[in-house]
Chains A and B, each alone.
Chain A
């Protein structure tokens, strides 16, 4: 996102967009934007008036040269608006094209036997565009995956850098929650057989591309409502302009057609009318730049309204896995021996917890001791893996002594040689750890318990600030975890989430979502597994990880290419930003009318009613330049605001009332003041030439 600013108007995009701005003049396309369509009609009328005024002279036709100038500026107004839309589209398309480019000209090894996957099945090479949903294809190391699909046999490491920008390869395996592959990514090792999940043209990426391409773009509900409001403002000012003619006749103040049309075009909300679709497209584009593929514009808009966020604890709130943070021996004076034993018990333990115990022990013991697998005590030792039955792991040393570590109740049972006093003493330590959000383990040697190990969740740095930010936006955060309620509560408090679901099963999530929705709340969740699919479908905004199963991706309305669980927070901000940009530009556009009135109305009447000069508070030079300046301002404000429309107004989570006050001052009051200054300045410049 940081490189955005430089790329806003690159040369190729601009020249494409300029061409497109003229194509868009087609009335059939223009009518979708009622405000700008009215300007186009105004331009055509002015063109006719200009032609007529070269042959005839009267009050309502006016001077040909002046008419031509007004016609030209109105035409520019339409072109500017079209350009705004075109450049937004071009940017979105460019972004999508870089994603799409990867999948061109790929050869697919299509398998003949469609019914089942056989490892040595015959295949023919076909272009990837010929693959249809349900087809099977084979991928071997070095192959580019020709189409989105799910692995039905095999396991492979895949380089997804083309899509996600992440260079570390990922593992995809059949029959797991990580069985889906994306077209354009590259297989690094192993053979997989993949079933195609989408016809060409209807993959997620294709859906996203259609959201940024103007022609087929569906307006979002809020955009439709805003268009209605803008159309009605246009209608009001149409009435104002049309009825002004008889009023002026009555008052004996003839008004030229050029002045009437200028008044009309200045009053109708052309600024927001011209930028509305650009803002919408840019919103989709921002999502795409954040590597989120939204399946509909509505989903992005809804994201701004989210009341409740369900976040998985692991990966979102805490860093991956638990870490050992403390080793507590039974007897304080045997600490070094205890740490040694912890180390030995874990050297062959490849679980993240085991590794973190090794790391901690290493730190405590210092570098002078042997701390790797070549440890003398491990010679000839037998490693005992963790099993759900015993809930312990450990080693049997060659000297016959047995070391075990595991859950407290398992070790307590195994530790038959320990006295009750020792067990009670250690039990208290265990409770203390559990009550403080940690996970306790115990260590015993030869059925004698020697101490306990504290494992803790490490909360991601900066995450609680993000939750504070969300709270200010009015979003409630809910942590979902498989931990017991005690641990969950502790972590929830530490991280600053508002609520948590402990010992969560997929159906608990579903239940929670339904409960929130019954209160009228909008819920967002992220998920990857097949068992998350119902929740993703039920949630108002469901974001599936790209590495997730096909079912999850189908059920969700957005897919995150980065597989980043914190992405939900960004999604909410993108949605809000979209709405705020729309609201602020609307306010700005309407507020501009005040200054335009003060420019044009005195200009219309001042010849017949000299007293009207008092309303000319900007002291514009002449009626002609006043009208001209207003129309010019009205036209050029559109390109001036294109960067704002494309980047979006920055969202600051400061609470609704403060945000409203702030935006009102900036875009409401600013919208009143800026055109006064702008029109005055343009008037000065115009006078240099006249």
Chain B
């Protein structure tokens, strides 16, 4: 059991150790400084020439936002068309999968464009290799790069002195793809392939099992997709069971690699913030705040899973057993909980165990992770979400020390607070309204069909699905029949709003901060690196995330826990 916990600690420490130099490297990439990947320069130049984009044009936040939204609209449109005509074109479709249902195509195109990867389909029984690679894998790169580039725009805005120039989205976007995501993905997919993650273009293979039955086994180019799904906090698996599937995540070693990949870039971006604005102590405090929450959540979840399931214990079977329901024997409860907290903290959404089968409290922790959605968070957007909490915390803490609040020398005034507050409201609004609507439908149509578990667990499933969509996470509490027009359209809309509004808002805030005249730091200024500020920050995060969802948590996981 100790080795299991050791494995969890190892994952955390190793990732943090790699994230530090990676953060430094990313800042150089953002700033266009000399890096070893400069040999890609001509290739990038060629792409810019081809697309007719001037990567050196200075743009303010609105121009950058237009670029961001424009390019994402293009990705979405191409994706939905390719899904709708999957069966009608001849490319890479050895199993002859058909065209997609329109609402599922909408949901899936939104899902991958928004870095959510909520999968209402099962990869091996619905998506051709062309769809997996050209649509999904591609979107997994570009949606991650969109997040990273937005985060870089934010960094720039914070150090600006009365200049509206936030840099160039296209430049940051392409470099995030070619110089951050691509090299890391190549390394990871090679490592995974050598350890047994499948990577082929064969169709279904007929295999004779030990019992002598025959079984059709799906293969395919899984390794590349697995690596980017983890690195880009996408989470969309090649196969339905995601990283619980032995072809995606064959052994304990690949599990460590993949879990590290989930956390790597989100952690590195926190450090990158420190390097970019040259305030490493503040970045350190932010990292500490996130890690404190992360480690507490992992501890609670690991403890709960190792304690086992009380109902099974009461039946007198499996006395002293850990909770292994829905978990892979090769990973065990600790690694499964670590993964669960990692994937929900970072809006990744890939799973190596069934979250549905975790204990009630663990399930609650996963939900809480997604309510907060800023503990490291999704690539780029996680830090952006965290920034919104920072703005609110600065505003409250600033007053407590008798100054009108400022962060990094920029005054936080009515305009910034208004945007930050609206973004902070959005998340509870989407989740609670979505869950409220689906609860209402279930109450008034008891035979609606898609809710298989009645009572509190069924409530948790609906809550989880809406939360996963709003947080752009993509994992699911399985057991919910989610491939229905209602869920496809509802979660599609929630994903869109939950993705783009929290990017637009903070960009507008830094757009406003960037042109402000910086105020000097004095002995009376708020020290953003002080532990006291860290305490305010944690309180703000917990109050907004936990308090807003407390009744929902009480009716779902807590009710389940107390009734067991």
Taking a contact as CB atoms under 8 Å apart, the answer to whether A590 and B550 are in contact is: no
Instruction: Please tell me which stretch of B92-100, B142-150, B414-422, B488-496 contacts chain A, meaning at least 4 of its Cβ atoms lie within 8 angstroms of it.
Output: B414-422
Q: Quick check: is A336 within 8 A (CB to CB) of the other chain? A: no
Q: Quick check: is A557 within 8 A (CB to CB) of the other chain? A: no
Contact with B along A646-670 (1 / 0, CB 8 A): 0000010001110111011001100
Taking a contact as CB atoms under 8 Å apart, the answer to whether B562 and A232 are in contact is: no
Taking a contact as CB atoms under 8 Å apart, the answer to whether A601 and B550 are in contact is: yes
Within 8 A of A (CB), among B386-440: 392, 395-404, 409, 412-414, 417-418, 421-422, 424-425, 428-429, 432-433, 435-437, 439-440
Q: Quick check: is A521 within 8 A (CB to CB) of the other chain? A: yes
Q: Once bound together, how far apart are the Cα atoms of A228 and B396, in whole Å? A: 13
Assuming the contacts A229-B392, A229-B421, A249-B440, asked whether A472 and B400 have C-beta atoms less than 8 A apart, the reply is no
Q: Which residues of B contact A244 (CB under 8 A)?
A: 551
Taking a contact as CB atoms under 8 Å apart, the answer to whether B459 and A236 are in contact is: no
State the Cβ distance, A297 to closest chain B Cβ, in Å: 13
Q: Quick check: is B522 within 8 A (CB to CB) of the other chain? A: yes
Taking a contact as CB atoms under 8 Å apart, the answer to whether A587 and B555 are in contact is: no
Q: Which residues of B contact A615 (CB under 8 A)?
A: 554, 558, 562
Within 8 A of A (CB), among B350-399: 392, 395-399
Most chain B CB within a 10 A radius of its CB, from A222, A225, A656, A664: A656
Taking a contact as CB atoms under 8 Å apart, the answer to whether A235 and B425 are in contact is: yes
Taking a contact as CB atoms under 8 Å apart, the answer to whether A247 and B414 are in contact is: no
Assuming the contacts A229-B392, A247-B551, A521-B520, asked whether A305 and B536 have C-beta atoms less than 8 A apart, the reply is no
State the Cβ distance, A404 to closest chain B Cβ, in Å: 50
Most chain B CB within a 10 A radius of its CB, from A251, A473, A519, A584: A251
Q: Majority SS of interface residues in chain A?
A: helix
Select which of A226, A249, A250 is within 8 A of B399 by beta carbon. Answer: A226
With CB as the reference atom, state the residue of chain B lying closest to A249. Answer: B443
State the Cβ distance, A200 to closest chain B Cβ, in Å: 35
Q: Which residues of A contact B279 (CB under 8 A)?
A: none
Q: Which residues of B contact A221 (CB under 8 A)?
A: 404, 413-414
With CB as the reference atom, state the residue of chain A lying closest to B562. Answer: A611
State the Cβ distance, B288 to closest chain A Cβ, in Å: 15
Taking a contact as CB atoms under 8 Å apart, the answer to whether A664 and B400 are in contact is: yes
State the Cβ distance, B28 to closest chain A Cβ, in Å: 29
With CB as the reference atom, state the residue of chain B lying closest to A240. Answer: B548
Q: Quick check: is B530 within 8 A (CB to CB) of the other chain? A: yes
Q: Which residues of B contact A614 (CB under 8 A)?
A: 562
Q: Which residues of B contact A249 (CB under 8 A)?
A: 439-440, 443
Q: Once bound together, how far apart are the Cα atoms of A612 and B551, in whole Å? A: 12
Q: Quick check: is B316 within 8 A (CB to CB) of the other chain? A: no
Taking a contact as CB atoms under 8 Å apart, the answer to whether A520 and B517 are in contact is: yes
Q: Once bound together, how far apart are the Cα atoms of A398 and B406, in whole Å? A: 73
Taking a contact as CB atoms under 8 Å apart, the answer to whether B555 and A579 are in contact is: no
Taking a contact as CB atoms under 8 Å apart, the answer to whether B421 and A232 are in contact is: yes
State the Cβ distance, A382 to closest chain B Cβ, in Å: 58
State the Cβ distance, B241 to closest chain A Cβ, in Å: 29
Taking a contact as CB atoms under 8 Å apart, the answer to whether A579 and B403 are in contact is: yes
Within 8 A of B (CB), among A261-303: 263, 267, 301-302
Q: Once bound together, how far apart are the Cα atoms of A660 and B524, in whole Å? A: 11
Taking a contact as CB atoms under 8 Å apart, the answer to whether A609 and B559 are in contact is: yes
Q: Once bound together, how far apart are the Cα atoms of A579 and B547, in whole Å? A: 26
Taking a contact as CB atoms under 8 Å apart, the answer to whether B559 and A583 are in contact is: no
Assuming the contacts A229-B395, A249-B443, A584-B400, asked whether A520 and B518 have C-beta atoms less than 8 A apart, the reply is yes
Taking a contact as CB atoms under 8 Å apart, the answer to whether B395 and A225 are in contact is: yes
Q: Which residues of A contact B329 (CB under 8 A)?
A: none
Within 8 A of A (CB), among B526-550: 526-527, 530-533, 535-536, 539, 543-544, 547-550
Q: Quick check: is A237 within 8 A (CB to CB) of the other chain? A: yes
Select which of B399, B517, B536, B561 is within 8 A of A579 by beta carbon. Answer: B399
Select which of A232, A240, A475, A611 is within 8 A of B551 by beta carbon. Answer: A240
Taking a contact as CB atoms under 8 Å apart, the answer to whether B400 and A601 are in contact is: no
Taking a contact as CB atoms under 8 Å apart, the answer to whether B525 and A474 are in contact is: yes
Taking a contact as CB atoms under 8 Å apart, the answer to whether B536 and A660 are in contact is: yes
Within 8 A of B (CB), among A608-628: 609, 611-612, 614-615
State the Cβ distance, A229 to closest chain B Cβ, in Å: 5
Size band of the interface chain A makes with B: 35 or more
With CB as the reference atom, state the residue of chain A lying closest to B414. Answer: A225
Select which of A236, A251, A472, A656 is within 8 A of B544 by beta carbon. Answer: A236
Taking a contact as CB atoms under 8 Å apart, the answer to whether B435 and A247 are in contact is: yes
Within 8 A of B (CB), among A212-242: 221-222, 224-226, 228-229, 231-233, 235-237, 239-240, 242
Q: Which residues of B contact A228 (CB under 8 A)?
A: 414, 417-418, 421
With CB as the reference atom, state the residue of chain B lying closest to A521. Answer: B520
Q: Which residues of B contact A304 (CB under 8 A)?
A: 402-404
Q: Quick check: is B50 within 8 A (CB to CB) of the other chain? A: no
Taking a contact as CB atoms under 8 Å apart, the answer to whether B399 and A605 are in contact is: no
State the Cβ distance, A658 to closest chain B Cβ, in Å: 8
Assuming the contacts A579-B399, A583-B398, asked whether A664 and B404 have C-beta atoms less than 8 A apart, the reply is no
Q: Which residues of A contact B424 (CB under 8 A)?
A: 232, 236
Q: Quick check: is A560 within 8 A (CB to CB) of the other chain? A: no
Taking a contact as CB atoms under 8 Å apart, the answer to whether A222 and B399 are in contact is: yes
State the Cβ distance, B159 to closest chain A Cβ, in Å: 14
Taking a contact as CB atoms under 8 Å apart, the answer to whether A225 and B402 are in contact is: no
Taking a contact as CB atoms under 8 Å apart, the answer to whether B400 and A474 are in contact is: no
Select which of B443, B526, B532, B549 is within 8 A of A664 by beta carbon. Answer: B532
Q: Which residues of A contact B401 (CB under 8 A)?
A: 580, 583, 656, 659-660, 663
State the Cβ distance, A618 to closest chain B Cβ, in Å: 16
Select which of A232, A242, A471, A660 is within 8 A of B422 by beta carbon. Answer: A232
Q: Which residues of A contact B399 (CB under 8 A)?
A: 222, 226, 579-580, 582-584, 586
Q: Which residues of A contact B307 (CB under 8 A)?
A: none
Q: Which residues of B contact A605 (CB under 8 A)?
A: 554-555, 559
State the Cβ distance, B109 to closest chain A Cβ, in Å: 28
Q: Quick check: is B519 within 8 A (CB to CB) of the other chain? A: yes
Q: Which residues of A contact B436 (CB under 8 A)?
A: 242-243, 245-247
State the Cβ distance, A215 to closest chain B Cβ, in Å: 22
Taking a contact as CB atoms under 8 Å apart, the answer to whether B397 and A612 are in contact is: no
State the Cβ distance, A552 to closest chain B Cβ, in Å: 27
Taking a contact as CB atoms under 8 Å apart, the answer to whether A597 and B550 are in contact is: yes
Within 8 A of B (CB), among A564-596: 575-577, 579-580, 582-584, 586-587, 590-591, 593-594
Q: Which residues of A contact B435 (CB under 8 A)?
A: 243, 247
State the Cβ distance, B498 to closest chain A Cβ, in Å: 15
A-B contact pairs, 20 of them (CB 8 A): A221-B414, A229-B417, A229-B421, A239-B548, A240-B549, A243-B435, A246-B439, A250-B440, A253-B555, A305-B403, A473-B524, A474-B524, A520-B409, A576-B403, A611-B561, A615-B554, A656-B526, A660-B397, A661-B530, A667-B400
Q: B: which residues have CB within 8 A of A?
A: 392, 395-404, 409, 412-414, 417-418, 421-422, 424-425, 428-429, 432-433, 435-437, 439-440, 442-443, 455-456, 459, 517-520, 522-527, 530-533, 535-536, 539, 543-544, 547-552, 554-555, 558-559, 561-563
A229-B392, A243-B432, A579-B399 known; 10 other A-B pairs, CB under 8 Å?
A: A226-B395, A233-B421, A235-B425, A263-B551, A473-B524, A575-B402, A580-B402, A611-B563, A667-B400, A668-B539
Q: A: which residues have CB within 8 A of B?
A: 221-222, 224-226, 228-229, 231-233, 235-237, 239-240, 242-251, 253, 263, 267, 301-302, 304-305, 307, 471-476, 519-522, 575-577, 579-580, 582-584, 586-587, 590-591, 593-594, 597, 601, 604-605, 609, 611-612, 614-615, 651, 655-657, 659-661, 663-664, 667-668
Across the A-B interface, give the 5 residue pairs with the lowest CB-CB distance, nearest first: A474-B524, A583-B399, A611-B562, A576-B402, A474-B522
